[in-house]
Every structure is written in C-alpha cells, then in structure tokens.
Amino acid sequence: MLYDRLDRLRDRTTTRLAELYKQRGFNHQAVWEREAFVDREVERMERLLGVDRGLCFGRLDTIEGSVSHIGRIALADEEYNPLLIDWRAPAAEPFYRATAANPGQLARRRHIQVRHRKVIGVDDEVFVGDAQAAPAGSIHGEAALIASLNAHRTGRMSDIVATIQAEQDRIIRAPLKGILVVQGGPGTGKTVAALHRAAYLLYTHREQLERSGVLVIGPNSTFMRYIDQVLPSLGETGVNLTTIGGLLPGIEASADDDALAQLKGDLRMAGVVAAAVRYHQRVPRKPVRLEIDGVGLDLDPEFVRTARTRARRSRRSHNEARPVFVREVLRPLALQYLERSGQAVDDDELADMRAELADHPDVRSVLDDLWPALSPQSLLAALFSDPKLVSAAARSLDPEERHLLQRSGRSQDGPWSEADIPLLDEAAELLGEIPDETALAAARRAEQERRAEQEFAADLLTGLDLGFPVDASQVAERYRGTPASTTTEQRAAQDRAWAYGHVIIDEAQELSPMAWRMVMRRVPSKSMTVVGDIAQTSAVAGARSWSAVLDPHAEGRWRLQTLSVNYRTPAEVMKVAADVLASIDPSLTPPESVRSTGEAPSAVPVTPDRLDDRLAELVAVDLDAEAEGRTAVIVPSRRAEDVYARLTDPGGGGIPPETVALGTRDPAALDARLVVLTVNQAKGLEFDSVIVMEPAEILAESARGATDLYVAVTRPTQHLTVLYTGDLPDELASLAP
Ligand SMILES: Nc1ncnc2c1ncn2[C@@H]1O[C@H](COP(=O)(O)OP(=O)(O)OP(=O)(O)O)[C@@H](O)[C@H]1O
C-alpha cells in the first residue's frame, strides 16, 4: 500500500513534469516561471525516487491500540490521513528512544526489514508483560542492526535511519542552539550521527537553515567523498561539505610538514599576522621630500603618525582604513603646496589640491609605501620570505620558529598549505577588501551590461505587444538567471564572510587553534556540532582536551555528550585496540563492541626481504575472501608510494592493478577494492579487512605517540592483520604469534 502510494505520487509528478515540458513560454517571465516549477518537480521526483530502499522500516503500536508507521519520508492518502511518519518528526521519536524500562505509551515496537519492496524480516520488542524485564538502554532492533553492520563495505557511508540507537538519537535531536560536543571512541557512530543531525535540523528548522545554510567540515577529500551520499539519501542536498583547506573560495591547499603545521596552527600566529599588518602601516624616520610641479613639499613624520593614528582609530580593516590615512596625509601636503606656491588657501582650493595630489604618481608611490593596499596572499608571502618583517612581527616566536616560518617561502600565488588557510583567513579579516581598480572597472562593466540587457528586454516586450504591464528590468534580471537561480549553498561557498546557520565539524580533535578561530568566524551564532575523539588526535597542533579548544571561544557555553558503543569494530579487534588505548592513557575506557565475529586478529612476522611478497599474498587472500568488500593496507607515510607501486607491478603478486588505488593520489580511491592509505587518510574510514603494515614505523612516525596506531587498528569491520619485520611493538604484544 505504501509503495502503491509512492508510485502514484511518482506518476503524478511525471505527468506534471511532462505537461510543464510541453508548455511553451509566450514571454520570458512565463519561461522563467515554468523553469522554477520544473526545478521544484524535479526535486520532488528525486526525493520520491531516493526513498525506495527501506521506505518504511518501523511500526509503533500504542497501548491504546493506535498504529503508526515510520519511514524515510512522510506520506498521506488522498484524504490527507497519515500513512507514513517522517523519521525526523516528533511522533517518530519513541521509535528510537523507548526502552523496556521507559516505554512511554508504546505496547510494541517493530523493526521491518525490506528488500526489493518485500518484507524479509520483522523484529518485535513488546513492552507489555514479561518483556519489560529487558535491561534498560540495551541495543534495539538488534537483527536489523547486526545485519547492517555485517554487510560488506562499499567505499561509501550509508544512512542508518532504520537502526539509530537511543544514545545517538539524543544527539541527533538535540536543540539547534549552542555548541554540542560529541566525544566517542572509534566506530561509535559520531560521523553518521552528526550527518543525521544535519538532516534533522534542516527538517525541524527548515526556513531558518535554508536561508543561512549548513556547513560540514571533515578531515580530507577522501573522507568527504566517503560521506557525501548520506545526506542525499536522506533527501537533503543543500549542505556544503568541505575541509579546512577548502574553506577559502578559490584557494586549493596541500599538506605541510608536521613541525610547520604545528607552528602555523599555534595561537601566537594570530598576533604575528596582526603585527605583520601593523608593520605595513609605516611612519618614515625622517621627512620625505617630494617635488610636485616644481614645488618642494616635506612630508613630516609627525603628519604621518597623526594620519596613522586616525586611520587606526577608525576601527576599519587595513584596506578600508587606507582612504582615511590618505586623506589625513594629503591634508597638510595640500596646504603646504598652496602656501609654497603662493596660492589662496580656502576649502575649495584645498579639496581640489588634495584630489590632484592623490593622482600624482610620486605621491601615490609614497602612500603605497607607507600604507599599501594588501591582499591576504601578499601579506603571507611577505611574512614567509622577508626576514625584516618576520623579526618585527614574530617577536613572540623564538629564533628557531622564525627560521622555520621563513622556510615556507611562498609567492603571492602560493602554493598554499592547509595550515596556511586559517592564516590567510585571519589576514583577510584584518585587511578587508581591497577597493581595487580592476574590481571597480568590472563593476562599471557589469552595470553597462545590465543596462544593455534591460534595453534588450524592453525592446522585446514592445515587440511582443502583451497588452498587460510587465517590468523590463525584472525580465532582464530573470532572463539573465543571476542571483535568483543561485542556491544558498552555492552563494555560501563563494563567500568567505558567509555566516552559516549551523556548522558540523567532524574529526574536530585535529583542528589547530588557528583553524578554530577561522571556523568560529563562519558561525557567529555559535550553533555547532563538534564531533571527535581526543584519543585519536594525530595533529601536533590538535586538541588535548575539548575545554582547551572551546573555552577561548565559548567558555561555559558548550555541552558534552558521549557515545560508548562501538558499532564498527568487532570485540576481538577492539581487545587489541584497548591495549593501544591504554598505552595512550590508562584512564581512558575503550568503547564496547556491539558484536563479535569469532575471528581473532593476527600478527604476521616477516623478514625484510620477504615483506613485499608476503603483503601481496595477504592482500590476495583478502581480495578473494571479500569478493564484494573493501580492503585497506595502512602503511607508514614514507612507504605509501612504494607499497602501491609494488602492488600494482604487473610482475608482482598477480593482483589486477585496476583493483588497487593510492589514497594520497586520488580522492575516489575508496571506489577500488584495495586501497593503500596512510593513517592520516584512513581517519574516519572503515573497511571489511585491514592490513596494518610495520606498526613500529607508524609509531615512530607519529607525533602523538600511539594515537595513530590506535586509529589504524580500529578501521576494520571484520578482519585485522598486522604485518611486521623486527619486533612487534609492546602495544600489540597480545597479538604475538
Ligand atoms: N545505529 C547504527 N546503525 C547501523 N550502523 C551504525 C549505527 N551507528 C553506527 N553505525 C555504523 O558504524 C560505523 C562507524 O560509524 P562512524 O564512522 O560514524 O563512527 P565514528 O565514531 O565517526 O568513528 P571514528 O572515530 O573512527 O571516525 C559506520 O559504518 C556506521 O554506519
């Protein structure tokens, strides 16, 4: 019946679309309106097509005998009687929250498993009678949950609407306001819960968030691709997904080395950038002599100092305060000129003289030297290459750090690293826009084009002789398809200063203090969901505690929720991971695995000369066993290229090269059956089978002790193999053969 209704709605939408396509626009307004209707119907159709799989997955029976069904979207019959409740509606909440100890009005909760539109299983929890003895807070919908956790991985994260657990639901439905921090061990569903929260917030606060937009920030482009299907599968497409390196429109960022990234992420850099801006607001040591049309002028340092003080007091950004500085410098110069050339001094003369001096190339060159217009890129390029600027601006850094900063050596055109992005953003904030000539010229050109289009539209309307009044400027605007047709997320992505309505940060433990400053600027309302795990911090500039990173921005205004059940990693693997966690901090508790596979992880010792061959053998076994699944080889970063080359060598282990991908090279690497990854790239991802290669080297490479090893061993959903030469690290002693 539900699928009948769905089919009928689809048919109706198809018919409407066909009619719209047949319609001929008799004028531009009609054409534009038709396009808008088509867009809306196409969107509706996409939503109806996307919900086929698992349209309905739950049923609730109350003690009063009422029955309701829970699904991906809301459906009603012709008389508007509800047939299906959207999982995000308040009425669906008991489906996720009811427990045996606290069933509310529920008599029964049913999980329904559907394949190809046929019910293939039901799983009932009865809340009346003896069943109430079931322990409070236990897993619900266990059969559906375990089936979904045991399924082969596809390289893309799926939604979990049918099996959201109560502790996750509390996070998903938490109020929009304020900063919610979700701390949880690996595999506890932080990412997936955060994405469902985005869908929930868009549903519940649609009007507000559609206008302001939602931003999801993740650790790298491979990860963003891994999660990018979840929101569309929940019917939400208007969310921006990006990395810290992707937050500045028009700039692509690569990685820095650890020491440099740590320094650039340090909070002291905010002061360094601010000092670098001030360094460019100069006062000359002695008067500057200018010769203008035979009249000698002296620009006294005191004039400049006064002008600089006034410009700084204007509280505008550097570029926006420049006109104040220029005006203040030109005032005494104009006066001098008039006096020394024996001309009358009055207000009109002074104003004319100032305008003339402003255009004089010698005066402009002096002004450019004293208070230059600066772009964030030019400021940072100077900071990374000019020793004088570094020693003036970076007094808070020690000599070694200053030297390191200079090693960056960027030109104005980059290339920029991820750690540069927050610094560029900081600079952009202090500098403001440059009112540059090209932009002004472009604006003038755009205005001319607009007028021409309006004239064209007016001619067209006259020719059509419509018999009713139509505004030519509106037709021209719509015809051009400018702002009216751009979506919120497109506009937000192009605008550095966009204020988002809500920001979700995943793997948030990796953000440096400078990156936090940048993110906070994106969301003045501080409505945020911050998810991560302090025990998995790899970045040296990353978080050591949530209060250390959040208190400077919102002391006392953030709340913490924890997740404690591990849905990804089987108990056998988690036992090994628990030893690694204990070596990071013995007081930390590992999350409890929800299932076990009965298969113990293994450690495979090998001599260095056999390392490649043995790896190829292990990979071949995995690829064979996981006919549909995904395998990852997690390697020390210096080995990644080499391991990939060996595995794809046609004379190597007989693995078809097209099944292998290298994470550092291709964000679509997870589409391949086998992927070679560094720990950094494996962050947040999961695979049926994982081979961790040379754990001792991973430990040695890691700037934060055993955290990288902890991340590596917690990636598999089924099998873990550790391949090593030499000795097995103490952290993995329990695996010793
Ligand atoms: N309620 C659930 N129902 C079904 N699958 C779930 C549920 N919760 C989590 N999972 C699955 O568990 C796996 C781990 O989830 P996720 O990646 O969100 O964990 P995480 O806490 O972000 O892990 P990490 O810290 O390693 O990044 C995913 O495959 C996710 O779909």
Confidence of residue 626 (pLDDT cuts 50, 70, 90): low
C-alpha distances in angstroms, 149 versus 23, 154, 445, 613? Answer: 49, 12, 58, 32
Of residues 99, 184, 190, the one with CA closest to residue 564 = 184
| The pLDDT value given to residue 577 | 97
Separation of alpha carbons 681 and 685, rounded Å: 8
List the residue whose alpha carbon is closest to atom 13 of ligand 1: 568
What backbone torsions phi and psi does residue 243 show, to the nearest 5 degrees? -110, 170
The secondary structure of the chain in percent helix, strand, coil, rounded to multiples of 5, reads 50, 15, 35
Cβ–ligand 1 distance for 191 under 6 Å, the answer yes
pLDDT at 101: 83
Cα dihedral 251, 254, 258, 263 in deg (nearest 10): -10
The answer to whether the CB of 567 is under 6 A from ligand 1 is: yes
Determine if ligand 1 sits within 6 Å of the CB of residue 219: no
Average pLDDT over residues 331-338: 92
pLDDT at 482: 42
CA dist list (Å): 216 to 174, 447, 686: 17, 36, 19
Res 658: pLDDT: 83
Q: What is the pLDDT of residues 191-220, one digit of tens each?
A: 999 999 999 999 999 999 988 999 999 998
The answer to whether 529 and 240 are in contact (CB under 8 A) is: no
> Which atom of ligand 1 is the closest one to the Cα of 532?
25
Q: Which residues does 331 contact at the CB level (< 8 Å), separation at least 6?
A: 350, 354
Which is nearest to 522 in space by CA: 246, 199, 229? Answer: 246
Which long-range CB contacts under 8 A does 100-106 form with residues at least 24 apart? 100/125, 100/127, 100/131, 100/132, 100/133, 100/134, 100/135, 100/136, 100/138, 101/132, 101/135, 101/136, 101/137, 102/136, 103/127, 103/132, 105/62, 105/63, 105/64, 106/60, 106/61, 106/62, 106/63
Q: Is 729 assigned a ligand-binding role in the annotation?
A: no
Ligand 1 pocket, residue 236 CB under 6 Å? no
Q: Is ligand 1 within 6 A of the CB of residue 160?
A: yes
Q: How far is 335 from 327, CA to CA, in rounded Å?
A: 12
Asked whether residue 568 carries a pLDDT value surpassing 70, the answer given is yes
470, pLDDT greater than 60? no
Q: Could you give the C-alpha distances from 172 to 110, 136, 138, 161, in angstroms and in order? A: 21, 20, 18, 11
Least confident of 339-348, 540-549, 600-609, 639-648: 339-348
Please choose, from the candidates 592, 591, 583, 588, the residue with its C-alpha nearest in 3D space to the C-alpha of residue 708.
Answer: 583
Where b means 16+ CB within 10 Å and e means fewer, 491-523 reads: ebbeebebebbbbbbbbbbbbbbbbbbbbbbbb
Assess whether the C-beta atom of 385 lies below 6 angstroms from ligand 1: no
3-state SS assignment for residue 67: strand
Q: What is the pLDDT of residue 305?
A: 96
Cα dihedral value 42, 43, 44, 50, nearest 10: 100
**With bands split at pLDDT 50, 70 and 90, how would you rate the model's confidence at 71?**
very high
- Residue 586 CA to ligand 1 centre (angstroms): 24
- Worst-scoring range by mean pLDDT, 383-397, 467-481, 704-718? 467-481
Tell me what pLDDT residue 325 has. Answer: 95
Q: Is 153 in the pocket of ligand 1 (CB under 6 A)?
A: no
Averaged pLDDT for residues 547-569: 94
User: In the structure, what pLDDT confidence band is assigned to residue 301 with cuts at 50, 70 and 90?
Assistant: very high
Half-sphere exposure of 413 (CA within 13 A, CB side): 0
Residue 116 pLDDT:
86
Q: What is the pLDDT of residue 449?
A: 67
User: What's the average model confidence in pLDDT over 632-655?
Assistant: 88
Residue length of the chain: 737
Percent of the chain with pLDDT over 70: 90
Rounded CA-CA distance 353/446 in Å is 32
Q: What is the pLDDT of residue 533?
A: 95
- For 530, the 3-state DSSP assignment is strand
DSSP per position, 541-584: TS-S-HHHHHHHHHTT-EEEEEE-EESSS-HHHHHHHHHHHHHH
Residue 466 has pLDDT above 50, yes or no: no
Ligand 1: centre distance to CA 423 (Å): 33
**Span 287-299, average pLDDT:** 91
Beta bridge partners of 634: 677, 692
DSSP per-residue letters across 95-163: HHH--SS--TTEEEEEEEEEETTEEEEEEEEE-SGGGGGSPTT--SSHHHHHHHHHSPP-SS----TTT
Q: Residue 443 pLDDT > 80, yes or no?
A: no
pLDDT tens sequence across 29-61: 777 777 778 878 887 888 888 888 889 999 999
Note the pLDDT of residue 5.
92
Q: Is the pLDDT of residue 448 over 70?
A: no
Question: What distance in angstroms lies between residue 102's CA and the mean position of ligand 1's atoms?
Answer: 25
Asked whether residue 483 carries a pLDDT value surpassing 50, the answer given is no
Residue 549 CB-half CA count within 13 A: 28
Determine the Cα–Cα distance for residues 410 and 414; give it in Å rounded to an integer.
5
Residue with tokens 């400078």: 514
**Given this model, what pLDDT does residue 452 score?**
66
425 class by beta-carbon count within 10 Å (0-12 exposed, 13-18 middle, 19+ buried): buried
How far apart are the C-alpha atoms of 219 and 509, rounded to whole Å? 10
Q: What is the pLDDT of residues 85-117, one digit of tens each?
A: 999 999 999 999 988 888 889 999 999 988 888
pLDDT category at 256 given cuts 50, 70, 90 is: low
The dihedral sign for the CA sequence 102, 106, 107, 112:
negative
Report which of 207, 224, 226 is spatially closest to residue 216, judged by C-alpha positions: 224
pLDDT-derived band at 135, boundaries 50, 70, 90: very low
For residue 242, say whether it is annotated as part of any ligand binding site. no
Q: What is the pLDDT of residue 481?
A: 45
